[in-house]
């Protein structure tokens, strides 16, 4: 991936002692994250936040506008709508180290010859990369990006559901996906979520995605949620299942202890890594 190392061209106005530049995809992700939180962003604020020139930020906003992920405005940009789902390709690149640590701990739950299922998501993608190191597994997924990475691994048997592709999450969802899942038995499922809460359970942004993930969970003997600390206590639009349907949550060691205690009190095993 291209990194913007330029200290600033004519008119960029970037000071020579500026912060080390952030990768373009990570910048895009952070811009959209801030936009989803506040509804609008200013070029000057983004320049200070990301440590790049205002000219670079304007180019970023132009690129995101062309993808119809925001609407440019004088001095910045505004959100396209109030309910916004960050595309998976731009999600939390800065937290990848934490997600990799969660993934390494999660795959320790996999036994020889297991049938393993993966939903879409940035943390489950890291789980898939860890599974690629193992042999003799059957891996079921409805995530196109995970399938693309595992398809070239001769040490694994890959099963991909059918379904309608969701551009925001790269997941195949709907009746075709659910039909495939209804016909198989899964030993352990690794599930990504947008939120996990004691009372609301597992939630995600899209109701069709939630329904497909619910079937995958129902077909699994063990269900392990892999989620970074930001997901604990968060509740979003569509319900997947209650906490009681989950075997274990693997998350960061610095997760909010209040939320961890609530989940444990509800009977969920929570592993901090």
- Judged by DSSP in three states, 86 sits in coil
Rounded to whole angstroms, the Cα distance separating 76 from 72 reads 6
- Domain borders along the chain are 1-83, 95-272
Q: Are 263 and 270 in contact (CB under 8 A)?
A: yes
**Three-class DSSP category at 251:** strand
What residues contact residue 111 under an 8 Å CB cut-off, 6+ apart? 187
With beta carbons less than 8 A apart as the criterion, state whether 46 and 22 touch. no
Q: Hey, what CATH class is 95-272 in?
A: alpha beta
Confidence band of 12 (pLDDT split at 50, 70, 90): very low
Instruction: Give the right CATH number for 1-83 from 3.40.718.10, 3.40.50.720, 1.10.10.60, 1.10.10.10.
Output: 1.10.10.10
Percent helix, strand, coil in the chain (nearest 5)? Answer: 40, 25, 35
Does position 42 have pLDDT exceeding 90, yes or no?
yes
Cα(70)–Cα(93) distance, rounded to whole angstroms? 19
Average pLDDT over residues 255-271: 98
164-202 burial: b if 16+ Cβ within 10 Å, else e: eebebbbbbbbeebbebbeeeebbbbbbbbbbbbbebbb
Cα 18 to Cα 1, 8, 50, 51, 116, distances in angstroms: 21, 10, 10, 6, 45
| Residue labelled with tokens 């209804």 | 182
> Per residue in 225-248, pLDDT tens?
999 999 999 999 999 999 999 999
- Model pLDDT, residue 18: 42
Our measurement of the distance from residue 36's CA atom to the centroid of its chain's CA atoms, rounded to an integer in Å, reads: 15
pLDDT, tens digit, for every residue of 145-181? 999 999 999 999 999 999 999 988 899 999 999 999 9
For residues 86-111, give the mean pLDDT. 81
Please enumerate in sequence order all residues whose Cβ is within 8 A of that of 154, keeping only pairs 6 or more positions apart, or say none.
none
In this model, does residue 20 exceed pLDDT 80? no
Is pLDDT above 80 for 37? no
B/e letters for 18-42, b = 16+ CB within 10 Å, e = fewer, are eeebbebebbbbbbbbbbeeeeebb
Taking residues 107-115, report their average pLDDT. Answer: 97
17, two tokens: 């002692």
- Kindly give the pairing relationship between strand 137-141 and strand 115-118: parallel
DSSP-derived secondary structure letter, 143 = B
Contacts of 95 (CB under 8 A, 6+ apart): 228, 230
Helix or strand or coil: residue 19? coil
């Amino acid at each position: 991936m291209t990194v913007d190392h330029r200290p600033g061209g004519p008119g960029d106005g970037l000071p020579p002692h500026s912060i080390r530049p952030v990768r373009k995809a990570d910048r895009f992700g952070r811009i959209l994250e801030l936009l989803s939180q506040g509804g609008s962003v200013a070029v000057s604020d983004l320049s200070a936040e990301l440590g790049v020139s205002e000219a670079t930020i304007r180019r970023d906003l132009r690129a995101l506008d062309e993808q119809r992920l925001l609407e440019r405005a004088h001095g910045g940009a505004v959100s396209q709508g109030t309910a916004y789902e960050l595309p998976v390709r731009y999600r939390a690149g800065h937290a990848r180290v934490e997600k990799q640590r969660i993934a390494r701990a999660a795959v320790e739950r996999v036994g020889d010859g297991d049938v393993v299922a993966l939903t879409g998501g940035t943390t489950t993608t890291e789980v898939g990369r860890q599974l690629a190191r193992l042999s003799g597994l059957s891996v079921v997924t409805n995530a196109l990006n995970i399938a693309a990475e595992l398809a070239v691994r001769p040490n694994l048997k890959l099963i991909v559901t059918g379904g309608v592709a969701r551009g925001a999450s790269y997941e195949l969802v709907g009746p075709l996906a659910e039909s495939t899942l209804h016909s198989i038995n899964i030993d352990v499922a690794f599930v990504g979520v947008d939120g996990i809460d004691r009372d609301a359970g597992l939630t995600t942004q899209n109701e069709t995605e939630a329904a497909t993930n619910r079937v995958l969970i129902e077909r699994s003997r063990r269900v392990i949620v892999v989620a970074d600390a930001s997901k604990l206590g968060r509740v979003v639009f569509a319900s997947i299942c209650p906490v009681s349907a989950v075997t274990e949550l693997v998350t960061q060691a610095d997760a909010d202890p209040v939320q961890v205690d609530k989940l444990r009190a509800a009977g969920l095993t929570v592993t901090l890594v």
